[in-house]
């Protein structure tokens, strides 16, 4: 009886290992790529230092343009920018936003962060350009960008919005 139990246990272990091997062999190239991307992304997520994580996220975004995890990486990068905003690290926020814009120039939220940093550094003309781009690229921050743009514009134009629509139209031409 004891021999039968040991034999049954051994057979069960062998079947388990066989099943695992079979599953690994059944993995499609797309599933393998996703698993590898996921494992790499999880390692990036574990990095505590924001600038190092930002570097690794940008490297991931650039090296894996077809990855299904692109939206996750982009979202995480934007959260890092938001942390710099919350802590008012304008000297860090501006360059980090610019780095992301070079990789993903059509992500409007990034221009909002750039505009905030430039405004804090008293670079008002550049801030207005960044905010106008954020507004024009239609994203969740567009309304805030327009409101902030109007505030800066009024401060530079005697409290009036005259000419703002022409300014935005000029920026629109540069985006096309």
Report field, pTM of the whole predicted structure over 0.85: no
Band of residue 12 on the pLDDT scale cut at 50, 70, 90: low
User: Domains in the chain, ordered, with CATH?
Assistant: 32-175 (1.25.40.10)
Query: Is the pLDDT confidence value at 18 over 60?
Result: no
**Distance between CA atoms of 121 and 106, rounded to whole angstroms?**
24
User: What is the DSSP code string of 85-153?
Assistant: HHTT-HHHHHHHHHHHHHH-TT-HHHHHHHHHHHHHTT-HHHHHHHHHHHHHT--TTHHHHHHHHHHHH
**Distance between CA atoms of 110 and 75, rounded to whole angstroms?**
11
**What tens digit of pLDDT does each residue of 113-148 get?**
999 999 999 999 999 999 999 999 999 999 999 999
Query: Is the pLDDT confidence value at 19 over 60?
Result: no
Within 10 angstroms of residue 83's Cβ, the number of other Cβ atoms is 13
pLDDT at 24: 54
**Distance between CA atoms of 126 and 110, rounded to whole angstroms?**
14
Band of residue 1 on the pLDDT scale cut at 50, 70, 90: low
Tokens in use for 145?
A: 């960008």
Mean of pLDDT values over 90-115: 97
**What tens digit of pLDDT does each residue of 30-80 get?**
999 999 999 999 999 999 999 999 999 999 999 999 999 999 999 999 999
| H-helix or E-strand spanning residue 62 | helix 50-63
For residues 22 and 107, which has the higher predicted lDDT (pLDDT)? 107
Nearest to 96 by CA among 117, 125, 75: 117
Cβ atoms 43, 75 nearer than 8 A:
no
């Amino acid at each position: 009886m004891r021999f039968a139990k040991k034999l049954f246990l051994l057979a069960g272990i062998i079947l388990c290992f066989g099943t695992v091997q079979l599953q690994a062999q059944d993995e499609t190239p797309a599933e393998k790529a996703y698993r590898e991307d996921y494992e790499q992304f999880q390692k990036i997520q574990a990095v505590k230092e924001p600038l190092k994580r930002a570097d690794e996220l940008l490297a991931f975004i650039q090296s894996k343009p077809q990855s299904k995890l692109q939206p996750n990486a982009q979202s995480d990068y934007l959260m890092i920018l938001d942390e710099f905003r919350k802590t008012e690290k304008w000297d860090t926020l501006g360059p980090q936003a610019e780095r992301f814009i070079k990789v993903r120039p059509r992500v409007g939220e990034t221009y909002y962060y750039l505009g905030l940093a430039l405004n804090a550094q008293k670079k008002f003309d550049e801030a207005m350009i960044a905010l106008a781009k954020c507004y024009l690229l239609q994203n969740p921050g567009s309304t805030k960008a327009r409101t902030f743009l109007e505030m800066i514009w009024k401060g530079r134009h005697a409290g009036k919005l005259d000419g703002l629509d022409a300014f935005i139209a000029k920026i629109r031409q540069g985006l096309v």
